[in-house]
Amino acid sequence: MTLLLPFSAAAESPRQTPGKRFRHRVRGMLGRLVPGARHAAKGPPPTGRTLIPLAQAPRGRWFRVVEIHGGHERFRRLSAMGLYPDARVQVLSAGKWGPVIVKCGETRLALGRNVAQAVLVSGAES
């Protein structure tokens, strides 16, 4: 004798785990990034402006992030903190040694000198 069970659509389709859903959302937001590649703002490079590392930017002025070097992990981490291409940042403190403190929106970030060297910004804005 054969026992017939009611059909369930959920049993047929594989269920996504929370980790897979999270990775899918992150990939959708950031796109497919290549490790080791530079991650730049979309569009043509700013004309007539030189790019300088955030660690060498004068304090008190506003800058626009143009590129982030250092691979996917660094880009992902800085993007999660709000520092991504086309973001406006203000350098609050940048001495010869120690961290570089920047203001990004309403958030203050302390970046290590090596990380600040990997963030390229365009010339000063008003």
From the list 58, 65, 63, 59, the residue with the least C-alpha distance to 82 is: 65
- Annotate 11-50 with DSSP letters as a single string: HHSPPPPHHHHHHHHHHHHH----TT--EE-SSSPPTT--
CA distance 120 to 89: 11
Say what the pLDDT of residue 9 is: 43
Q: What residue spans define the domains of the chain?
A: 39-125
> Cα 40 to chain center, whole Å?
10
CATH of domain 39-125: 2.30.30.90
Q: What pLDDT digit, counting tens, does each position of 67-95 carry?
A: 999 888 999 999 998 898 889 999 998 77
pLDDT at 4 over 80: no
Alpha helices in 41-123 (DSSP H): 72-80, 113-118
**Residue 31: strand, helix, or coil:** coil
User: Would the pTM of this model clear 0.85, i.e. be above it?
Assistant: no
DSSP code of 55?
Answer: G
**Which of residues 119 and 5 earns the better pLDDT score?**
119
Task: Show the tokens assigned to 48.
Answer: 């007539």
Yes or no: say if 109 and 56 are a contact pair by the CB < 8 Å rule. Answer: no
Task: Show the tokens assigned to 1.
Answer: 């004798």
CA distance 85 to 38: 11
